[in-house]
Structure 1
Amino acid sequence: MKVRFFLSILIGFIGFTSCNNSSSKNNEVSDTTLTEVVKKDTVVIPQRVLPDDGQVGVRKGAVFLFKNRGFELFSGGEAMGRQYAQVINSYNRLQIPGLKIYNLIVPNGFEFEVTEPYKDKAKPATVAIEAIFKAEDPQIIKINPVDEIRKHRTEYIYFNTDHHWTSLGAYYGYRSFCAAAGLTPISLDTIPSKVKPGFLGLFYRLTKSSILKNNPDSVRYYLFPDSVNFYIGTSKSLNYWGKSKMYAEQVSGANSYSVFLQGDLPICKMETQHKNGRKIAIVKESYGNAFSPFLTNNYEKVIVVDSRYYSGDFIGMLKAEGINELLFINNIFAAHTPFHISNIKGLTNPGSPKAKP
């Protein structure tokens, strides 16, 4: 396996656990005066490789510094992707009555910033995603959000100093999901939001780069109009749900991404006023934190499980909660990482030890 893949995976290992450790301006509700800087290019180039713009990239440890931002460079192999596909297939082959299964794989930020001199630095996301889809059962509903996200590549869709997507990037992933699930996505035009400024994420913590320090991020989260009851569950019981809040509004600075779903909780539940019979469980790593709140606009019930930390009776939970849709959402590194794949598989074996990076 290539050295650069090990370096890239190292970033993923640290980043996927970092959350626990650590719109329209007219509708913005902010306790700060700083909002994120959104690029305003007038032309969106649809192809993957962009013309050489003279920007020079340099590696600093496991981080690729380019265009005043930090990036991971993906080079995952097809064999590992097939292992991920087989784990997703195993849930389909449980043949749980009435359960519809989706698989959404999220590209990382470099996919949308590749220029001609660096086109061979990272494997194209769609090549890897489609290889996984090819190995999956036909019953699995497959969602590749690359084209939808690429349409908006000049917007603030990935952080400058962190490996995650922003809530706007997650929104475009949500739109891709809605298209596959027969749902109408909510429009952000009239949704108020709040912003947490001064976010310096994983890439800055790894490099202490002055370039990144001078290009800090802000974390926007949306205040959806529908009433949502938010509960935190436990691996020990299918019946315990403690009422809490969907957003950890007290977090700030380096921990700002943990505002979404209070970080990496093992399991949480959102119940809404939509009485449409649609009840979904989401199996995710930290990319799912910014994504999952959007589904409260479409589902009666949304349960979010972090496969790295939940060790309870997952299948029993699906049945007890009347879940009829199951979404696996993982970033492209997680879908090619042995410990993530192992932990997703392990959800069918309550109490099994969790694999570690």
Structure 2
Amino acid sequence: MSKRNQILAGILLAQVLLAVFVLWPRSAPASAGAPLFADFEASDVTSLKISDQDKNMVELKKLGSDWVLADADSFPVDASKVTPILDKIAAIGTNRLVTRTSDSHKRLQVAADDFLRKVEFTLSSGAAHTLFIGSAPGTRATHVRADQQSEVFLASDLSSYEVGAQETSWIKTTYVSITQTEMIGLTVTNITGTLQFSKDVSGAWMLDVLPAGAALDTGAVTSLVSQAANVTLLKPLGKQAKPEYGLDKPQATVTARVKSGDQPITTLTLTIGAKDATDNSYYVKSSASEYIVKVSEYSVRDFVTKTAQDFVQPPTPTPAPNTTPGG
């Protein structure tokens, strides 16, 4: 075959392949089917109530464009945690049917009295719906059921772990955050007295009541400063101080003095109230926040219990004399 014929044959083959590619029948892309909630638009949701199998429950509501906790004087919710969940609920389709009967609801953990999560939401139209989120048969599949329907479907991009039934799943849990290098002073008052820590000109910490001749345990001070600079909440309670919080007779008060660049010195005071024996947490109020919160015992225990002696560096043990004969 001549070179010219080879070229013509190649062009003909390319044309045939192109025609096959264009005309070959294709299957339609997989469809999500009808939406599980026909009237659902993420932007229309005005409230969410989430429950779990351990009887935890949290309720979120929308105020204007903001999300807040319904039961904590409208404590701010992190909207970046809410919007993705609403979008995932809106995307649930009915193309992956698991069962049409209620016999398997308990086994799939989407029964009205046996579920991993129950999500109750209200729309701006006034319509209310319930979504049960159950077990996960695979890494990207979760059993779900809507309202009073018997049908159970698989959701491909939603899991019960993403939909927490506690406040901390939806809020920013940082209650106090201070840059430690900007903290220039720390005062702690508890039942044993007052400890006054400050930095010298070199930036080293000092304690005003350090016994004469004693050395400061800088590690212990650094640990205390770190705790004062970073406090994480367990639960927001609201703005109203109740008698059981014990904030009028605090276990301790902690005042941090902060100097940031050329800015004036500012202070932040942490009032540590009563201990809740049911969960070993403390009631706490920061002067920088409207809200009273609960924090873990570990977070504030040192402020309540430490004395000046706890910041004295232990003396270096003197080696015992060698009494071995000939030593």
Q: TM-score, normalised by structure 2?
A: 0.22
The higher-RCO structure (CA 8 Å, 6+ apart) is 1
Q: Select the structure that is richer in strand.
A: 2
Larger Rg: 2
Q: TM-score, normalised by structure 1?
A: 0.21
Q: Select the structure that is richer in helix.
A: 1
